[in-house]
C-alpha cells in the first residue's frame, strides 16, 4: 500500500485572465478548482495509474471538507486528521501573460494533531510505501521529515522524499528509497549551477553516498537523470508536446516512477513511466490521465 503525506493541502483556484492588470478590476475568461498539495498530486496520479493509495495529512474547516469530498469523488482514499481551528488554505493561480500565484498560509497544526499522524504512520507495515512531499508549515518542527523517517527506520518501509535544501539532506542518513530534486535544487545543495550531465551525475552520486538509494533529477525540458541504487545511470529526454501547465509535473514523475517500480521492479522502466507521467501532466490542463501516460510511453 502507498501512503502520501501532505502537511499543507490546498484548494487551488485557477483563473485565466486576458491582459491582467494589477490595481484594477479583472474579469476571468475561465476558472476552475483543483485539489492541491504535492502529496495529493502524487496520490491522484497513482490513482489514475491504478495504484491503490491513501492520502494523509491535515484538513480544517469548510475548505477542508470540500477538498476531502473532491478527492473521495475522484476515487482517492483519504485518511486526514481534522483540525479544530483554521481553514485549509486556498491558493490562487492567475494565468495571464505571466503566471502569478498567491498561496495561503494554511492552519496551525498543534502537537496533539501531529501525534495523531504518528499513530497512523505506526500502523504501516513492511513493504508499504510512504511519500513525503512538499514544504513544512511554520507550526511544525523543521525536522519533521527526519523524525518520521527515524520512527520508521528498520521497518522495511520504502520512503520517497520530494523536498529541498536541508529538509532533504536531513533524511538521507535514513536511506530513503527515492529522492527527486530538480536540477536547480540539486545544484543548490552543493553551491553550484549545474549544466552538464557529468556535473549532475557527480552531485547525484554524492547524494547517494550520503544515503539516497535512488536519485531522480528532473530537468524540465532537458529531461531527467536517474542514478539507481545499483550505480547505473539512466538518461531520458522528454516526449514531444506543448507545455500547458508545469504544476504537478514533478509530483507526477514521482507517482509514475513508483507505479512502474511497484509493478515491474525495474528501474529503467520506472524511469520511463515517471518521465511519461510528468510529461502527460505538463501537456495537460490538469494531472496526468492513464491513457495519456501510456500513449507518451510508446514514443520514447
Q: What percent of the chain has pLDDT over 70?
A: 100
Q: What is the predicted pLDDT for the residue at 135?
A: 82
Q: How confident is the model at residue 300 (pLDDT cuts 50, 70, 90)?
A: confident
- Residue 136 scores a pLDDT above 90: no
Q: What is the predicted pLDDT for the residue at 95?
A: 87
Listed in sequence order, the residues at least 6 apart from 113 whose beta carbon sits closer than 8 Å to its beta carbon are 58, 81, 83
Mean pLDDT of the chain: 93
Is 222 within a domain?
yes
- Cα–Cα distance, 94 to 99 (Å, whole number): 6
Q: What is the predicted pLDDT for the residue at 40?
A: 96
Is 19 within a domain?
no
- Residue 112 scores a pLDDT above 90: yes
Q: How confident is the model at residue 154 (pLDDT cuts 50, 70, 90)?
A: confident
- Residue 107 scores a pLDDT above 90: yes
- Cα–Cα distance, 182 to 159 (Å, whole number): 18
- Residue 242 scores a pLDDT above 90: no
Strand partners, 226: 216, 234
CATH of the domain at 255: 3.40.1190.20
Domain count, the chain: 1
- Residue 220 scores a pLDDT above 90: no
The mean pLDDT value for 96-121 works out to: 93
Q: What is the predicted pLDDT for the residue at 264?
A: 94
- Residue 98 scores a pLDDT above 90: no
Q: Which three cell numbers stand for residue 251?
A: 509530483
Q: How confident is the model at residue 225 (pLDDT cuts 50, 70, 90)?
A: very high
Among 97-101, 104-108, 217-221, where is mean pLDDT lowest? 97-101
Can you give the residue range of the structural domain that contains 219? 2-8+37-88+105-297
Q: What is the predicted pLDDT for the residue at 290?
A: 95
Which residues belong to the active site? Answer: 251
Dihedral, CA atoms, 34, 80, 129, 71, nearest 10 degrees? -30
Q: What is the predicted pLDDT for the residue at 178?
A: 98
> pLDDT per residue over 37-93, tens digit each?
999 999 999 999 999 999 999 999 999 999 999 999 999 999 999 999 999 999 998
- Residue 184 scores a pLDDT above 90: yes
In the sheet with 99-102, reading across from the earlier edge strand, the strands are 30-36, 10-16, 89-95, 99-102
The mean pLDDT value for 288-295 works out to: 92
Contact (Cβ atoms closer than 8 angstroms) between residue 300 and residue 237: yes
- Residue 221 scores a pLDDT above 90: no
Q: How confident is the model at residue 209 (pLDDT cuts 50, 70, 90)?
A: very high
Q: What is the predicted pLDDT for the residue at 175?
A: 97
- Cα–Cα distance, 72 to 21 (Å, whole number): 37
Amino acid at each position: 500500500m502507498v501512503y502520501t503525506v501532505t502537511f499543507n493541502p490546498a484548494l487551488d483556484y485557477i483563473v485565466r485572465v486576458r491582459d491582467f492588470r494589477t490595481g484594477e478590476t479583472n474579469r476571468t475568461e475561465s476558472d476552475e478548482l483543483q485539489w492541491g498539495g504535492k502529496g495529493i498530486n502524487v496520490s491522484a496520479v497513482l490513482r489514475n495509474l491504478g495504484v491503490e493509495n491513501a492520502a494523509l495529512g491535515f484538513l480544517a474547516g469548510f475548505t477542508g471538507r470540500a477538498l476531502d469530498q473532491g478527492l473521495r469523488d475522484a476515487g482517492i482514499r483519504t485518511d486526514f486528521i481534522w483540525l479544530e481551528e483554521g481553514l485549509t488554505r486556498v491558493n490562487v493561480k492567475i494565468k495571464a501573460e505571466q503566471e502569478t500565484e498567491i498561496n495561503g498560509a494554511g492552519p496551525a497544526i498543534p502537537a496533539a494533531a501531529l501525534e495523531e499522524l504518528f499513530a497512523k504512520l505506526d500502523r504501516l507495515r513492511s513493504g508499504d510505501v510512504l511519500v513525503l512531499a512538499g514544504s513544512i508549515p511554520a507550526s511544525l518542527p523543521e525536522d519533521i521529515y527526519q523524525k518520521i523517517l527515524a520512527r520508521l527506520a528498520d521497518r522495511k518501509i520504502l520512503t520517497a522524499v520530494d523536498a529541498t535544501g536541508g529538509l532533504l539532506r536531513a533524511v538521507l542518513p535514513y536511506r530513503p528509497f527515492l529522492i527527486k530534486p530538480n536540477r536547480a535544487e540539486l545544484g543548490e545543495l552543493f553551491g553550484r549551477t549545474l549544466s552538464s550531465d557529468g556535473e549532475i551525475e557527480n552531485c547525484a552520486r554524492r547524494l547517494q553516498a550520503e544515503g539516497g538509494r535512488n536519485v531522480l533529477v528532473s530537468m524540465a525540458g532537458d529531461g531527467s537523470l536517474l542514478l539507481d541504487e545499483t550505480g547505473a545511470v539512466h538518461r531520458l529526454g522528454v516526449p514531444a508536446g506543448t507545455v500547458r501547465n508545469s504544476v504537478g509535473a514533478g509530483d507526477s514523475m514521482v507517482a509514475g516512477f513508483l507505479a512502474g517500480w511497484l509493478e515491474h521492479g525495474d528501474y529503467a522502466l520506472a524511469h520511463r513511466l515517471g518521465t511519461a507521467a510528468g510529461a502527460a501532466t505538463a501537456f495537460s490542463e490538469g494531472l496526468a490521465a492513464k491513457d495519456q501516460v501510456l500513449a507518451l510511453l510508446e514514443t520514447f
